[in-house]
Structure 1
Amino acid sequence: MKNKIPDNVVFNEEEGYNASMLAYPTNVGAPVIKIDNILDWKSVGIRKVNKEFESKFNELKAEYEKLMQEYEWNEIIYNSKYSFEPIIGETYHLYQSNDGTHFLSLIDPSQWNKEYIGSFNLNSDKKWIQINSKKDNF
């Protein structure tokens, strides 16, 4: 029977006593190895990421709503009545007639008594840009 080495001694046949070279504790008196509690780290990370996603989502949602409002105004103006070719950069005023149809005019709202909807500029992309309006959504 060979000399039996106690369990609390690190011994290897090839390397001998190599406890000082190991990356982990090898004797009974060594500090306890504790596994890090990563649940807290994960939950903080999840909250942070979710907050960032929510912020980005709200930003995209606001941008989408703005785009849809611009689309609706452009649809209303392009479907309204006007008998002139609009000039890029000019201010035009949108009105509603008594029969409920819309028409575009150069006449300022202060100069006559028609139901004023809003004022718009035509940009170089042929998109109507809202300057101001009586109603936010029509």
Structure 2
Amino acid sequence: MKNKIPDNVVFSEENGYNASVLPYATNVGAPAISIDNVVNWKKVGITNVNKELASKFKELKAEYEKLMQEYEWNEILYNAKYSFEPIIGEVYHLYLAKDGSNFLSLIRSDQWDKEHIGSFKLNSNKKWIPADENEAFF
């Protein structure tokens, strides 16, 4: 039977005792070689990325909804009846006529008894915006 060499000794038939040339530690007191656990790191990374993407999606969705609301109000205002050319920066009032159509007027809602929908200004880009800057579209 061959001489049994202990497990903690690095020996090979070709190289002999070659522990000093190996790129890793070979004695019992050396730190253990272990593979890093990247699963937890990946989970944390995925969770953080998903939260960031969900937040960005919510922002984009809110911005899209706001844009669609602006579009709808502009469509209503451009399709309303009026017999004058609106001036940029002036306040105009949108009313509901008895026949169900919308019309635009210079007359404020407190000056007559019509169903007032809202007050708007035409900006320099020819886009209708709420007259009160603190007020969003209805």
Q: What TM-score comes out, normalization by structure 2 length?
A: 0.82
Counterpart Cα distance in 1 of 2:128 and 2:11: 82
Deviation, 1:24, is: 2.0
Deviation, 1:39, is: 1.1
Segment drifting more, 23-32 vs 54-63: 23-32
1:101-129 C-alpha deviation (Å, 9 max, x unpaired): 00000111111110000111101111101
State the match for 2:91 in structure 1: 91
Structure 1: 5+ residue runs without aligned partners?
none
State the match for 1:51 in structure 2: 51
Deviation, 1:44, is: 0.6
Deviation, 1:130, is: 1.8
State the match for 2:62 in structure 1: 62
State the match for 2:108 in structure 1: 108
1:28-65 C-alpha deviation (Å, 9 max, x unpaired): 44222111111111111111000000000000000000
Q: What TM-score comes out, normalization by structure 1 length?
A: 0.82
1:68-111 C-alpha deviation (Å, 9 max, x unpaired): 00000000000000000000010111000111100000111111
State the match for 1:120 in structure 2: 120
Q: 1:33 to 1:114 in 2, by over 3 A?
A: same
Deviation, 1:25, is: 1.7
Q: 1:10 to 1:128 in 2, by over 3 A?
A: farther
State the match for 2:26 in structure 1: 26
Counterpart Cα distance in 2 of 1:99 and 1:23: 90
- Identical counterparts, % of pairs: 66
Work out whether residues 10 and 26 of structure 1, in 8 Å CA contact, stay in contact via their aligned partners in 2: no
SS, match of residue 103 in structure 2:
strand
Work out whether residues 95 and 104 of structure 1, in 8 Å CA contact, stay in contact via their aligned partners in 2: yes
Find out whether 1:82 has 2:97 as its counterpart.
Answer: no
Structure 2: 5+ residue runs without aligned partners?
none
SS, match of residue 26 in structure 1:
coil
Counterpart Cα distance in 2 of 1:37 and 1:17: 30
Deviation, 1:6, is: 7.2
